[in-house]
Amino acid sequence: MTTPLTYLALVAVLLAPFALTWALSRIARRTGILRLSLDQFRPAAPFVGRLVSSDNSLDRDGLRAAHDLDAIRTRFEQQPTWPASSASGERR
């Protein structure tokens, strides 16, 4: 008799956080008191700021990628061949 009660208690303990989350979300949607949105949980990095934003002007990774592409493009406009890795390009 104690084994089924133990399993029932274990299931109740494991499901309690999900039940609490469900109940709080129902209350929050119904009353409008808890106003949670995904904009409150945007990831950020040190010295960079927000990594993802709603407008693209604050997208630091996008700005970095655009800068890298511009640097590669202008390098090949000035010197259209890839540098050789042999010693022939290092002679003086």
Domain assignment present for residue 91? The answer is no
Q: Within this chain, do residues 2 and 16 fall inside the same structural domain, yes or no?
A: yes
Model confidence, pTM: 0.35
Q: Within this chain, do residues 29 and 50 fall inside the same structural domain, yes or no?
A: no
- The residue type found at 25 is S
- Which pLDDT does position 41 carry in this prediction? 73
Give 3-19 pLDDT, tens digit per residue. 989 999 999 999 999 99
Tokens standing for residue 18: 């999900």
| Averaged pLDDT, 63-77 | 83
Domain assignment present for residue 51? The answer is yes
Q: Within this chain, do residues 31 and 15 fall inside the same structural domain, yes or no?
A: yes
Give 20-58 pLDDT, tens digit per residue. 999 988 887 777 776 767 667 777 777 766 666 656 555
Strand 44-45 relative to strand 49-50: parallel, antiparallel, unpaired? antiparallel
CA quadruple 74, 80, 82, 84: dihedral positive or negative?
negative
9-47: b (≥16 Cβ within 10 Å) or e: eeeeeeeeeeeeeeeeeeeeeeeeeeeeeeeeeeeeeee
